[in-house]
Amino acid sequence: MSNQEDSEGGVPCEENREREEISLTEDESGAFHLELDDETTEEKLSSTKSSVILREESEQKEQEAKKRDDRYLYLLADFENYKKRVQKEQLDQAKYANEKLLREVLIVLDDLERAILHFNETHDFEKVSEGLALVSKQFLSFLNRFGVSPIESLNKPFDPACHQAVGQVERPDLKEGNVADEIQKGYMLHGRLIRPSFVMIAKHHNDADIQGNTVGGTVNVGV
């Protein structure tokens, strides 16, 4: 009833609107063609175009995200390889750090062995003594090349920064408090103490003990 009233009253119904949007036309050959209303066609094309654009944008973003993930994985793998390479280099460096120093030590050892061999062949103590003195001089020269230098202590004022007193001895010929004897030589490495000199301190007769423990002519002050 309502559809008929719509038709009779001049108000197009849904079916009539569809007929307005879609029409059939016959060409000269008698063939029929489906034609869409211009407004309807434009809306559908616009909707289809928007869908295509959204799909393309979505695919593009997915590709970009995949590229970022691949880039991240590549950088992560490269960094792990770099860490392993650096760790290996550090281990090798620590393992062979003394290679140059040891090569120099071997030269001194060669001279020492030659001196021993010469003594076994000649039993010449004087020559052996001279040879050992040369080896000692050579070894000190080797130490100097690596920044190691002996501490000069004899007849120097006692310095707790580089001397360690092992006792006192009466030495009226030396200034009180100076180093009278060196039990073991000390050494510096590029100006930094690596071993103190163990020394005896000169004192005059009846001088007060450094730590109050007197044994004969020597005062024990600790090692």
What sign results for the dihedral spanned by CA atoms 200, 203, 209, 211?
Answer: negative
Check whether residue 121 and residue 177 sit in a common domain. Answer: no
Structural domain contains residue 30: no
Range of the domain at 136: 99-145
Check whether residue 141 and residue 164 sit in a common domain. Answer: no
Final residue in a domain of this structure, among 145, 174, 209: 145
Structure token digits, residue 157: 């004022």
- Locus of tokens 């869409």: 36
* Least-confidence region, from 10-19, 74-83, 98-107, 137-146: 10-19
Check whether residue 169 and residue 213 sit in a common domain. Answer: yes
Residue 153 identity (one-letter amino acid): S
For residue 218, is pLDDT > 50?
no
For residue 175, the domain's CATH number is: 2.30.22.10
Structural domain contains residue 111: yes
* Least-confidence region, from 17-31, 49-63, 83-97, 116-130: 17-31
Check whether residue 126 and residue 160 sit in a common domain. Answer: no
The model's confidence at residue 120, banded by pLDDT at 50, 70 and 90, is confident
Percent of the chain whose predicted confidence (pLDDT) is above 70: 71
Structural domain contains residue 163: yes
Structural domain contains residue 139: yes
Average pLDDT score, the chain? 77
Structure token digits, residue 29: 């050959």
Structural domain contains residue 15: no
Better-predicted residue by pLDDT, 145 or 35: 145
Check whether residue 154 and residue 211 sit in a common domain. Answer: yes
| pLDDT at residue 17 in the model | 45
| Angular region, 216: left φ>0, alpha ψ -120 to 50, beta rest | left
Q: What is the rounded CA–CA span in Å between residue 82 and residue 88?
A: 10
Check whether residue 213 and residue 168 sit in a common domain. Answer: yes
Check whether residue 135 and residue 158 sit in a common domain. Answer: no
* Least-confidence region, from 142-146, 157-161, 194-198: 142-146
Check whether residue 139 and residue 195 sit in a common domain. Answer: no
Check whether residue 156 and residue 204 sit in a common domain. Answer: yes
| pLDDT at residue 217 in the model | 39
Which pLDDT tens digit goes with each residue over 6-60?
444 444 444 444 444 555 555 566 555 555 555 556 666 667 767 777 888 888 8
Structural domain contains residue 38: no
| pLDDT at residue 16 in the model | 46
| pLDDT at residue 210 in the model | 47
User: What is the rounded average pLDDT of the residues 88-107?
Assistant: 84
Give φ, ψ of 186 to 5 degrees.
Answer: -100, 165
Structural domain contains residue 12: no
Q: What is the rounded CA–CA span in Å between residue 102 and residue 32?
A: 103
For residue 117, is pLDDT > 80?
yes
Structural domain contains residue 8: no
| pLDDT at residue 75 in the model | 87
Task: Count the domains in the chain.
Answer: 2
For residue 181, is pLDDT > 60?
yes
| pLDDT at residue 92 in the model | 82
Check whether residue 155 and residue 205 sit in a common domain. Answer: yes
Structure token digits, residue 94: 């620590």
Residue 194 CB-density burial (10 A; 0-12 exposed, 13-18 middle, 19+ buried): exposed
Check whether residue 140 and residue 175 sit in a common domain. Answer: no
Helix runs in 10-165, H state only: 14-21, 38-95, 99-122, 125-145
Check whether residue 135 and residue 156 sit in a common domain. Answer: no
Residue 13 identity (one-letter amino acid): C
